[in-house]
A and B are shown apart, each in its own frame.
Chain A
Amino acid sequence: MSANREKLLRVEDLVLHFRTTVGTVQAVDGINFDLDYNRAVVILGESGCGKSSLAKAILRLLPRNVGAYSGKVYLGGSDVMALSDEEFRQNVRWVGISMVPQAAMNSLNPVIRVGDQVAEPAMIHMGVKKEEAMKLARQMFEHVGVPEDFLVRYPFELSGGMRQRAAIAMALVTAPNLIILDEPTSALDLLTQANIFNVLKRIKKELGTSFILITHDIATSSELADEVAVMYAGQIVETGEAKDFFPAPLHPYAQMLMASVPRLRADQDPEFITGQPPSLINLPPSCRFAPRCPKRRDRCEQDPPIIEKDGRKVKCWLYA
C-alpha cells in the first residue's frame, strides 16, 4: 500500500439511519465519494436531503437515536470507522478533520474571550501550552482576516461576519487537512458572504486545506468548489468536477436545481421543481426522484445504478 498515492478522504457505502417513533429515517443511505488533498467538494441539496447528517456521519457526531451506522471512512488511507470512540476523538476529530457547524457564529461561548476559545482545541488536541496555543490562535486570526486585538474580546463585541471568521479560525488552529463547513454563510449578508469565501479561498491556497462544503446556496458555493456532489433523499445522485457540473449538470434533479437559481440579468425567469422531496422514512424502491422527474420512464421504477460518463458519475437511467 503506497501511502502517498492514497486520497485524503474516501467514503464507502456510508449509512446513517435514525430511529424515530414513526419509523427509520434513512438520512445517509449508501454514500460513496472521495476527496484529494487541497481540494474542495461542495455537497448540494435541498433542506432535509441528509447533507448535514453526512457531515455528522463522517465526524461520528451522533445523536442517541442512531439506528444503522456502517460503511468505511478512510482518512489518508487508514480506516477511521474501525477506531474506538476515544481513539477517534484523539486522532481524527480536530487534528484530522475539523468542522465549522451550522450557525457557528452563534455557537461561541458568550462569557469566554474569543482568543481563548480559538486556542482551546490546540491545547486539548495537540497538547500545547496556553502560550503556544495563543500564538497559533493569533496566526489563525491573521489567516482569516480578524484583527489581532479581537483575541481579547468577547463574542458579543464582534459582528456576525467576524464571529464566523473566528469560528473558521478555531477549525484551523489544529492544522487539520480537512475542514467540513456546514452552511458557512447562510446567515450572513451578501457582502460578508463574499468576504468569507475569499477567506476560504486564501486558506486553501496558503495552507493547502481541503474542504467539504455543505450548502444549499448553489451560486455562492461555485466560488470555492473544485468538485460537486448533489444529494437527494439520502443519496448522492451526481458527482463531477465543478467546471463540468455548473455549466451542464447531468442528473434531471441537478438540472432543475440549477435552473431554479435566480440569475442576474437573465433572459428567462428561474424555474421550480414541482412537488417536494420524499420523506426519508419508507423510501420507495424506485429512483427517489422519479415522482418529481419530468424525464421519468417505466425503467425508473427500479433503483438506477451509478453510471460513469466522461469521468463524471450520475445515478440515472438516462445515461445507461
Chain B
Amino acid sequence: MTDPKKSQQDLVVVKNLVKYFPVRAGLLQRVVAWVQAVDNVSFTIRQGETLGLVGESGCGKTTIGRTILRLIEPTSGQIIFNGVDVATLRGKELKAMRRDMQIIFQDPYASLDPRVPIGESVMEGLNVHGVGTRQERFEIMMDTLKKVGLEDYHARRYPHEFSGGQRQRIGIARALALRPKFIVCDEPVSALDVSIQSQVLNILKDLQQEFGLTYLFIAHNMSVVEHISDRVAVMYLGKIVELASREDLYRDPLHPYTRALMSAIPIPDPTVKRERIILKGDVPSPLNPPKGCRFHPRCPVAVDRCSQEEPPLKEVHPDHLAACWLLK
C-alpha cells in the first residue's frame, strides 16, 4: 500500500489485521462464538502525520489502537512499527519498542492512580525503563509538565485536585515523558467539556510539531477529527470503509456510510436547513456481521451484489480509498 509518490516514510504498517474475541459460555467455558472486532484491516501511518480513525461505538477502532501497541494480541495479520514486526518481539526487545509507542486514554478520571501524586505518575514510565538517574528523571518529568502547560507545584498534587482538562494534560505528559515516536490517542477529548477540548487539541498539535510525533487519533466526533488529522480512516463493524486525506474526505465523502455520518453532524445554527441521511436500524452485532458488504442492510443505495460479495477497499481517486461496489 505504499505510494511511490510520497517521500514520507511509513512509521506504522498494518497488514491484514484480524482480531476476534472469543465468547465463552457454559460450565466448561467453551468458545461458542467469536466477536469479529477487527476483520482484515490494512493501512499505514506515515512518519509525523496524524491519522484519524472514526466510527461508532463497537466498530473496532479502540481494538486497532491497542493491537498496534500489542496491549492486545492480534488473531492474525502483521503490524510493522519502524520496520520491525511487533508481533515477533519478546522480552527486552518488546520493552524497548514500547518506549517508542505510548497511549493517551479516553477517561482522564479513571486512568490516573488516585493515591499517587501526579509527578510520580508521570515519572513511572521513566522508572520502569530506567532512564537516567533519579535526578534526571525528575527533571524530565518537570520539563514534560511544563510542555503540557502545568506548573512545578502541580507535581506534588493528587489527581482529584485537578479539573478534567488538566487531568487529560497529565495523561498527555505521561505518554510524552519517554519521548516516544508514536502515540495512540484514544478519544482524548470526548470526556471533556467543549470549552476546553480545543485547548487539549492545541497542545497535541504543538507537541507533534516540537517532537515530530506521529499520532493515531481515535474519535467518534467527525469535527474534532477534522481539526487534528492529516488523513482519516472511517470504520464500520470491524472494517475500514473509506481512507483519504482530510481535505478529500470532508470535501467529497465517497462511501454511503461516510456520507450519512457527515450529514448527521449537528450544526449549531438553527437557521441552517439541510438534508439528512437517516439510516435504518442500528449497527448490527459484530458477533454475526451481515454477509457481503457489512453496511448493506442499512445502506440507502444498496444493490443485489452488496448482499452477496464483500467490496474491497480500493483506490477510487488517487490516495482516496473506499470499499463500495457502486464506486468505479
- Residues of A near any B CB (own CB < 8 A): 46-47, 159, 161-162, 189-195, 198, 216-220, 222-223, 225, 242-243, 246-247, 256-258, 260-266, 269-274, 276
Contacts and interface: CB of A to CB of B under 8 A. Distances in A.
Contact of B267 (A46, A192, A263): A263
Contact of B282 (A159, A219, A243): A159
Nearest to A272: B199
Interface residues of B, number: 40
A256 B195 contact: yes
- Of the candidates A47, A190, A258, the one having the most CB atoms from chain B within 10 angstroms of its own CB is A190
B175 interface: no
A263 B202 CA distance: 15
A190 B56 contact: yes
Contact of B266 (A159, A189, A223, A258): A223
B268 interface: yes
Interface string B12-48: 0000000000000000000000000000000000000
Contacts of B202: 269, 272
- Of the candidates B56, B195, B222, B282, the one having the most CB atoms from chain A within 10 angstroms of its own CB is B195
A82 to B, nearest CB: 37
A190 B270 contact: no
Given A191-B279, A243-B271, A269 B227 contact: yes
Nearest 9 A-B pairs (CB), nearest first?
A219-B266, A272-B199, A262-B223, A270-B198, A189-B56, A194-B264, A219-B268, A159-B282, A273-B195
Contact of A265 (B163, B193, B250, B260): B250
B276 A257 contact: no
Contacts of A257: 194-195
Nearest to B189: A262
B207 interface: no
Contacts of A198: 278
B94 interface: no
Interface of B: 56-57, 163-166, 193-199, 201-202, 220-224, 226-227, 250-251, 260-262, 264-271, 276, 278-279, 282-283
Given A190-B261, A272-B198, A273-B196, A195 B278 contact: yes
A194 B197 contact: no
Nearest to A198: B278
Contacts of B271: 243, 246-247
Q: Is the interface of A mostly helix, strand, loop or mixed?
A: loop
Contact of B220 (A189, A263, A273, A276): A189
A243 B166 CA distance: 34
Contact of A220 (B195, B196, B266, B269): B266
B223 A264 contact: yes
A187 to B, nearest CB: 9
A44 B300 CA distance: 35
A207 B34 CA distance: 45
B194 A261 contact: yes
B226 A265 contact: yes
23 contacts: A47-B164, A189-B57, A190-B220, A191-B261, A193-B264, A193-B266, A194-B266, A222-B266, A222-B267, A223-B270, A246-B270, A257-B194, A264-B250, A264-B267, A266-B223, A269-B227, A270-B227, A271-B198, A272-B195, A272-B197, A273-B195, A276-B163, A276-B165
- Of the candidates A46, A270, A274, the one having the most CB atoms from chain B within 10 angstroms of its own CB is A270
Nearest to B192: A47
Nearest to B276: A194
A258 B222 CA distance: 17
B281 to A, nearest CB: 9
A280 to B, nearest CB: 14
Contacts of B264: 190-191, 193-194
A219 B278 CA distance: 18
A243 B268 CA distance: 10
A153 to B, nearest CB: 14
B198 A262 contact: yes
Contacts of B251: 265
A46 B197 CA distance: 12
Given A222-B270, A243-B270, A262-B223, 16 more contacts: A46-B193, A189-B56, A189-B220, A190-B220, A194-B266, A195-B278, A219-B266, A219-B268, A225-B270, A258-B268, A262-B197, A263-B268, A264-B223, A270-B227, A271-B198, A276-B165
B276 to A, nearest CB: 6
- Of the candidates A191, A242, A243, A247, the one having the most CB atoms from chain B within 10 angstroms of its own CB is A191
B211 to A, nearest CB: 20
Contacts of A222: 266-270
A190 B265 contact: yes
A66 B63 CA distance: 44
Given A198-B278, A264-B222, A246 B269 contact: yes
A264 B266 CA distance: 9
A262 B226 contact: yes
B226 to A, nearest CB: 6
A144 to B, nearest CB: 14
A256 B195 CA distance: 8
- Of the candidates B202, B221, B223, the one having the most CB atoms from chain A within 10 angstroms of its own CB is B223
A262 B221 contact: yes
B297 to A, nearest CB: 14
B163 A263 contact: no
B203 to A, nearest CB: 10
A162 B268 CA distance: 25
Contacts of B221: 190, 262
A250 to B, nearest CB: 16
Given A46-B195, A162-B282, A272-B199, A261 B57 contact: no
Contacts of A161: 282
A272 B226 contact: no
Given A192-B282, A265-B250, A276-B163, A260 B268 contact: no
Nearest to A273: B195
Nearest to B223: A262
Contacts of A276: 163, 165-166, 196
